[in-house]
Every structure is written in C-alpha cells, then in structure tokens.
Structure 1
C-alpha cells in the first residue's frame, strides 16, 4: 500500500513539473480513405497535455459515393494521442494512436421501380495507428501531413494533409 501511494505521489509530482508542449491548435484537412476509395474533408484540434504529448480529436466526412444505384455515406470520429519524437523550430514528427468510430450508411434508390428502395447503417469502433509531420513555416499557420491505419473490420488506410492554426 505504501509503495503504491508513493508511486502515485511521485507520478503526480512528475506530471505537475513537466512543461506544456506548445499551444493549442485547430485546423482543417483533406483525407483519402482506401476502403471507401474517396476523398473526405475534416477538422481537427490539438491540445497539449505535457511535453511531447498532445490529445488530437478529429472528424472526417467522406464525400458521398454512388455506384450502380447504391449511395454510401461515411463519417469517422477519432480521438488520438500524438507523441512527438522531434519537435524543433522547423519540423515536428509524431506517432499517433487512438480510438476511431466509423458510421457508414448505404442506401439504394430503385429508379427503375423493380426492387424498391432500402437503406442500412452501421457504426463500428476501431483503433488508429500512424504518424505525422508538422511543418513550421514561421507563422500562425502550420501545414501538416498524416497517415494512419484504422484497425476496423477490413481496415482502412487514411492519408491526410491540411493546416492547423496556432491559437
């Protein structure tokens, strides 16, 4: 019991003395998902937790895709942690890991009147693993590129690029 209490006090002391990594950032980006095979648009944020670590939520809405009368809508929510291996004045390199929730809706519009209309939707939880780069260009705008693999049923590789704005 004493060892556990001492460990907790030591960890809290360590966390309280670490410096915050940087400032809060918000941004927007374009993404491409290999499972849906389509472009999407997204928003993200980055909140520093401690030196070298930030929390980064994001949302990606993939543009609707239609093939053979089937229309697919895909929306994903992400909650990632970014760990910075390198974060100097020009470049920030980070690994990411986190949770994913993907919502997919498929609908069919039978314009020929043969089989009727239908729609179905499903939501799944998955894991994100990947990495990214921030390119500091000396202004409040921070271009970035990121690639992640979403571990979900058949999986999806997502490549994205955009800008974050320093607040």
Structure 2
C-alpha cells in the first residue's frame, strides 16, 4: 500500500513540475486554497482541507487535495479520518463568472482509532489506509481578481464509500 501511495504521489508531483512552467505564460491560472468538507456514507464527518489546482493545458488541471476530518469520541474509543485526493479536472464551461468542471482521480483514505478505556496498553489502537476512485464535478465563481469561491461534489468508491460536498476559496497565483 505504501508503494502505491508513494508512486502516485511522485507521479503527480513530477507531472506538476514538468507541465506548470510551460503553461504559466498562458492566460490560465494556478491556484491554492482551503475548504470545508462534509462526507456522507461510511465516514459521516465534517473536515477542513487544502487544495491546489495546477493547469496542464487550457482545459485540464491537476488538483491535489488534503482533507482532515474532525476526530470523534465514542466513550472509550476515538477515531479519525484523513484523505488525500489526486484529481484531474476537465473544464467544459467557462463563461462570465462561471467555470464548471468534471473531476476524476484517486483517493487515499487513512483511518485511525484508539482505545482509551480500562486496561489500556500501548497496542490499543490501529490505523489503515485504503485506495478508492473519485468521480464528480465542481464550479468556480470568478468574482474577483485573486479570490475564487468554489464548490465540489464528489463520490468516492472503494473501501470507504462516500459522498463528499466541499466549499471554500481558491487564490490565484
């Protein structure tokens, strides 16, 4: 699992470094931002995250995301989730202030739990990482020169099946 994760991470960053410098002279923009996310399904939690968006062509971007869900306590045990997404966005509509895009990519979800009850020892906890596929879409609202509000809807299919809605701000670089 670690080899798959490291290979995917390396491939995304290699594509990012190879492609963004050549397209920076175009009128397209690279962006960084943050968002709030709400997952429904196997996770059912709220989280905060960061997003990048890096143009590789006029209509395609690479969009890595990192999302931390708020931990939940269940009496004597506690669990938390974190996900890393490597998505490609295809922009199919860009008029006035609206930019609509479809997305697809890989999802890596990490689950961690700890037992905090009586008889606790150092081994009372575990974590697991699972891979899934993302499919969804989003909208950017180009209302300012540097700040871009956005929202995404995404379905992740894998060990942790979930529907995620996010909303936040991206900043043009």
Q: TM-score, normalised by structure 1?
A: 0.83
Paired residues of 2:130 and 2:160 also in contact (CA < 8 A): no
Distance in 2, Cα, partners of 1:157 & 1:127: 12
Give 1:70's aligned residue. 77
Q: Which runs of 5+ in 2 are unaligned?
A: 1-21
- Equivalence map 1:49-128=2 (5 Å): 49-110=56-117, 113=118, 115-117=119-121, 118-128=124-134
> How many equivalent residue pairs?
148
Paired residues of 1:104 and 1:123 also in contact (CA < 8 A): yes
Paired residues of 1:21 and 1:48 also in contact (CA < 8 A): no
Distance in 2, Cα, partners of 1:46 & 1:21: 15
Q: Which runs of 5+ in 1 are unaligned?
A: 1-15
Distance in 2, Cα, partners of 1:107 & 1:62: 16
Paired residues of 1:20 and 1:48 also in contact (CA < 8 A): no
2:52 maps to 1:48: no
Distance in 1, Cα, partners of 2:26 & 2:46: 34
Instruction: Give the number of the structure whose alpha-carbon radius of gyration is greater.
Output: 1
